[in-house]
Structure formats: C-alpha cells, structure tokens
Amino acid sequence: MTAQDRRLAGWRLRYPSVADLEPLAKRRIPYFSYDFLQGGTGRELSRPRNMAALAAIEIISRHGLDVSDVDISAELFGRRYACPVVVGPVGMDGAIWPGATRHLAETARDSNIPYMTGTLATGTLESVAEIAPENFWFQLYGMPSEDHRVSLDLVRRAKDAGAHILAVTLDVPIPPRRVRDMRNRLGTPLRLTPRMVTGMLARPRWLKALAREGLPRFANMTSYCREGASKTELDTFVAKGRAGSMTWETLARIREAWPRALVAKGIQHPADAEKALSLGLDGVIVSNHGGRQFDASPATIDLVPAIRQVVGERMQVLMDGGIMSGTDVLKALACGADAVVVGRAFMLGLAALGADGARHVARTLEDELRIAIGQSGACNRAGVANLMIRHHSAWKMDGPAGGPRNKNDKLEELGQ
C-alpha cells in the first residue's frame, strides 16, 4: 500500500462525509478564501435552498432483489465514465488551495470522471489537457468585448487541446453582489489589506502551498493581456472584458465553431432548454450558479423534472447545486438528471486535506452512490429511472414552453 493509499484509507474513517471537511477547511485556509468558497449572493438564500430541496426528496426502496452487481458507471456524450459525477469549475481555484487546477485534473484522471475546468481557473486549459486528456471538459465564460475576440479564441484553444465537451455559461449576465467578498474587501483587482495579510499568516500550510505554487493568476487569460502584465493589470483586463451578456446569438456562433458536444450551463427555464435544443446543442446544465448569482432563483433540483420533460431524450441533462453526498447524486438521477456537476465539495477536500483531498471526495461520493443505489434496489441507471420518489417542491410547467400554472403550483409527487 502506497503512502497515498494509507492517507486515503485513514481519511475514510476520520472524515466519512463531505460535511466533515468543512470545519477543517475553515481552519486551514484564510478566512477570505473560505468565505469565497462557501458564500453566495444577497442574503445567501439560494444556496441553502438547493440543499434543503435535495434533503426533502424521498425515495421508496425495493427489496428482495439481487444487488450484488451494482453499476454506477455513466455514459455522457458518448464516453463511459466511472460514475455520473463531473468535477466542476471554480473560478480562481488556486486562491482556495494553491495548485488546485492540477490536483483536480489528476483526481479526474485517476477516478475516471470528467473535469470541467473553467475559463477563470488558475491553471491553463492546455495543462489540464496534458494531465487528463480523456477526462477534459472546458467551461467558457463569455468575454463580450471586441465582438467576443477572447471568447472565440478560447473556443479555438479548447478545440485544439482536445476538450471533449464545451460548456458555455449563460447565467452571469452582470456581476453579482457577493456580500462576504464585499465585507472581506475581496475584489478584482485584489488589494491586500492588513487583515488579509494577518489571515494568511495564520494559515501556515496554505502559505507553504502558496510559496510552492506561486501567486494564483487567471492563467487562461495571460496571452490576451499585455506581455509582462502585472497581476493587477491582468485582473483589471478580465474584469473589464467580462462586462456584458452571453447571448443566444453568440451561442449560435460558437455552435458553428465548435465541432464536438456543446452544452449550455446555467439553464433554469424550460423555454431556455428548448432554445438550446433548437440551436443544436447536445446538453444543458441546470444550475443557479451554486447560489452565487441570483438569490431569488429556485433550487436547482426543483427545476430538473420540468427541463427533462421538455427535452426528453433529445439532449443530456446535468445539474449542479447542493450536491454533498452520493445520496444527493442518486436523488438527482431519480429526478431526471444524467449526471451532476460538483464544485464546492471537491474544493472543500483540497482546502481541508491538501493535494489528495479531492481524491478523498471522489472516493466518498462514489462509495456513497454505490451504497445508495444498492439500498434503493435500482442496481443501475435504468433501475434508477424507475424508482418511485416524492418531490413536493418540484416546479410543474405547463407544456414545452409554458411557465408555472400559478406561482405556487408544484409537482405534488413524481413517480405517480
């Protein structure tokens, strides 16, 4: 047994759930990094709403069945993965744990799950392609300035690097007010305060990793800024370049330029899913940006059944928001998702446990999902689709492009 295997075996008993990592992460990284990871927007209602909606879903198990051969593998966009969990993009991930982009890519490779690295990651998309070529997905943030010059070049780079999936983020039309970051004076460009410096000095393990990895930068954006530009110049360039919306018209241009599977990320309304389908997209990610963009947004899981009803089997449906356990993954699948995208949980693993922490999270989610599917009696993805569930808070839509029948109308029960 290698030293890494021994560490992972020990963590399995000491930190058996993702939630167990939160207090340790808070002690190991600076307060402003922890708040950046855990915070939302406004009054921070939409993030706990995500988790509460997942917690309320009930699944009726079937028993007396042979569950000796549980299969949690998933086929996503023509590729087979070990389980239906995608490592999600987190902007400025290296500020939470230095070297995060590399560690996440290695975790995805070793776990045979996809890694959707992001435009604002602190490692380049090309570096992810080198580490995990079979697991490499790319998430695009629109850069509307200069008629999307940077956006379209990022599409080219992702294509040249061999990304299997391109996910275009639609749900950031304008910058949000993230209150924790505002209170912590955490902005773009970053200006360190004495309190921040004190907070960093109080976290020696994080500082040691930072000294090893260097200051986090928007690595994918350096080639678009002035050669030799300072970090402040780069931050300013990114902040100005992102001003403006990603429109359906731009998405249609990207569809023409992108030869592989294309996904719209941030879908909530069924009409938007239909629009994505009409443009020839291959999938949608139902998302409220982890509660970090619009505080009035519904819980993501509550939107999944309506989106699935609209698109049927014509495109794949993924979701994110609130996934903290393998049982949460099972609930998402039972509600109609093909897979889940997980960001915070993997970052909590890194923040709490360092470089191997994301592997611990991957193993935890896979183990919990295998047990949950076996306990339900489903055994595999086909069985999950036939589970009887109760999902009181699911939105009920009226036809392919309709809205709620009234603002309080909910699906009383799925599976009936």
Q: Give the active site residues.
A: 289
Residue 11 tokens read as 């963590």
Residue 271 tokens read as 């009409």
Is-contact 285 319, C-beta < 8 A?
yes
Return the closest-CA partner of residue 363 out of 2, 10, 80.
10
DSSP lists the bridge partners of residue 112 as none
Sole residue written with tokens 């198990």:
61
Helix (H) or strand (E) holding 59: strand 58-60
Count CA within 13 A, CB hemisphere, residue 292: 21
| b/e per residue 14-40 (b: at least 16 CB within 10 A) | ebeebeebbebbbebbbbbbbbbbbbb
Phi, psi of 50 (to 5 degrees): -55, -50
> What distances in angstroms separate CA 344 from CA 27, 140, 202, 210, 377, one per listed residue?
16, 18, 23, 20, 29
Q: Is the peptide bond before 189 cis (omega within 30 degrees of 0)?
A: yes
Q: Cα(269)–Cα(300) distance, rounded to whole angstroms?
A: 11
**46-56 vs 300-311: helix crossing angle, rounded to 10:** 70
Q: Cα(294)–Cα(273) distance, rounded to whole angstroms?
A: 19
- Could you tell me the end-to-end alpha-carbon distance of the chain, in angstroms, rounded to an integer? 49
Please compute Rg for the chain using Cα positions. 21
List CB contacts of 55: < 8 A, sequence separation 6 or more.
none
- For 163-178, the DSSP string reads -SEEEEE-S-SS----
